[in-house]
């Protein structure tokens, strides 16, 4: 086995160190490559710090309760303090892993903010920037340069943020695929906002009843279809009023309102100023 590691305390603590004096701090970090013999860890009481394991190659088995889960390269496994840690890395697969233990009084808040709490295993794929950060942390722990504690904390924070971004991007992509029909209608709204868009017609395009369409649209966007179109029109109206010499009546017609008085009322209720006064600000 090839093993490279660094320890902030200069000595190994099997069950970890809970440092609550700092908001976030690295306890230890390392890399392992299995070549001839499997590596097994059984910490039934877990550790007192947090751990992130990144499998970059091969396979490993993690046991959570009565369930055993086999994972391969590109997976990140997360352990919180007190969680049993039972896992095995396979030498026959030439398994390679990076691991890091960390603690601090703000760890939970960061993990919650980055969306890293909940599921213990995350499929993030191979991320060279994550590997690079692990290696940087190991280097800092071993060289013990001035302010290395601050540097390793900065690297850890970047690692957590990149991981959180990856997971949130995957979630947004999944939601986007789930709501492709609403995304298509949103495109229609942006293209045809100046026309008289009818809810029933929009709903029919994606095979939904008007009621179901309104409900789903609001669930996805946080807005009703009518308000969404109105916001598009008002944003375009503000642009035309501020950047062109067009009169209010002309702007109203361009963004889809035949009645300029009705347009003015909607504009004022949305923007807080009548369109004529809004335009004066840019003259």
Judge if 61 and 125 occupy the same domain. Answer: yes
Report yes or no: 194 and 235 within 8 Å, Cβ to Cβ: no
CATH number at residue 230: 1.10.10.60
Judge if 163 and 189 occupy the same domain. Answer: no
Which of 176, 192, 221 is at the close of a domain?
Answer: 176
pLDDT tens by residue, the chain, 283 residues? 888 888 887 777 787 888 888 899 999 999 999 989 999 999 999 999 999 999 999 999 999 988 999 999 999 999 999 999 999 999 998 999 999 999 999 999 999 988 888 889 988 888 899 999 999 999 999 998 899 999 999 999 999 999 998 887 655 555 555 688 998 999 999 999 999 999 999 999 999 999 999 999 998 889 999 999 999 999 999 999 999 999 999 999 999 999 999 999 999 999 999 999 999 998 7
Judge if 138 and 17 occupy the same domain. Answer: yes
56, with CB counted inside 10 A (0-12, 13-18, 19+), is: buried
Judge if 10 and 106 occupy the same domain. Answer: yes
Q: Which helix (H) or strand (E) holds 162?
A: helix 148-178
Structural domain for 164, as ranges: 2-176
Judge if 171 and 231 occupy the same domain. Answer: no
Q: Give the pLDDT of residue 89.
A: 94
Please give the Cα distance from 4 to 32 (Å, whole number): 7
Which of 126, 149, 176 is at the close of a domain?
Answer: 176
Compute, in degrees rounded to 10, the torsion defined by CA atoms 61, 19, 108, 118.
10
Q: Give the pLDDT of residue 226.
A: 95
Q: Give the pLDDT of residue 115.
A: 84
Judge if 131 and 230 occupy the same domain. Answer: no
Q: Which helix (H) or strand (E) holds 276?
A: helix 275-280
Backbone φ/ψ region at 155: left (φ over 0), alpha (ψ -120 to 50), beta = alpha
Judge if 187 and 273 occupy the same domain. Answer: yes
Judge if 197 and 226 occupy the same domain. Answer: yes
Judge if 40 and 165 occupy the same domain. Answer: yes
Q: Give the pLDDT of residue 173.
A: 53
Judge if 150 and 16 occupy the same domain. Answer: yes
Model pTM above 0.75:
no
- Counted domains in the chain: 2
Judge if 191 and 118 occupy the same domain. Answer: no
Which of 156, 176, 196 is at the close of a domain?
Answer: 176
Judge if 12 and 141 occupy the same domain. Answer: yes
Instruction: For residue 132, give the 3-state DSSP assignment.
Output: helix
Q: Give the pLDDT of residue 177.
A: 59
Strand 67-72 and strand 96-103: pairing? unpaired
Q: Give the pLDDT of residue 10.
A: 74
Q: Give the pLDDT of residue 172.
A: 57
CATH number at residue 18: 2.60.120.280
Residue-wise DSSP of 196-247: ---HHHHHHHTT--HHHHHHHHHHHHSS-HHHHHHHHHHHHHHHHHHHS---
């Amino acid at each position: 086995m090839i093993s490279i590691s660094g320890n902030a305390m200069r000595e190994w603590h099997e069950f970890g160190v809970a440092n609550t004096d700092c908001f976030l701090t690295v306890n230890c970090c390392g890399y392992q490559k299995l070549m001839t013999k499997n590596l097994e860890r059984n910490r039934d009481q877990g550790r007192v710090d947090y751990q992130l394991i990144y499998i970059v190659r091969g396979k490993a088995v993690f046991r959570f309760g009565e369930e055993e889960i086999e994972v391969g390269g590109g997976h990140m496994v997360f352990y919180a303090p007190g969680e049993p840690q039972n896992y095995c890395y396979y030498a026959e697969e030439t398994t390679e892993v990076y691991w890091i233990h960390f603690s601090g009084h703000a760890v939970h808040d960061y993990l919650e903010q980055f969306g890293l709490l909940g599921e213990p295993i995350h499929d993030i794929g191979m991320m060279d920037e994550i590997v690079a950060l692990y290696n940087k942390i190991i280097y800092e722990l071993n060289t013990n340069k001035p302010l290395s504690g601050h540097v390793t904390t900065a690297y850890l924070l970047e690692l957590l943020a990149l991981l959180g971004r990856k997971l949130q991007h995957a979630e947004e992509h999944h939601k986007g695929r789930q709501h492709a029909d609403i995304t298509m209608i949103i495109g229609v709204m942006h293209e045809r906002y100046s026309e008289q868009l009818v809810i029933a017609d929009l709903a029919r395009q994606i095979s939904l009843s008007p009621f179901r369409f309104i409900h789903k649209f609001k669930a996805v966007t946080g807005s009703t279809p009518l308000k969404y179109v109105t916001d598009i029109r008002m944003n375009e109206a503000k642009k035309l009023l501020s950047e062109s010499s067009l009169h209010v009546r002309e702007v109203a017609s361009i963004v889809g309102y035949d009645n300029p008085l009705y347009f003015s009322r909607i504009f004022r209720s949305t923007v807080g100023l009548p369109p004529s006064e809004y335009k004066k600000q840019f003259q």
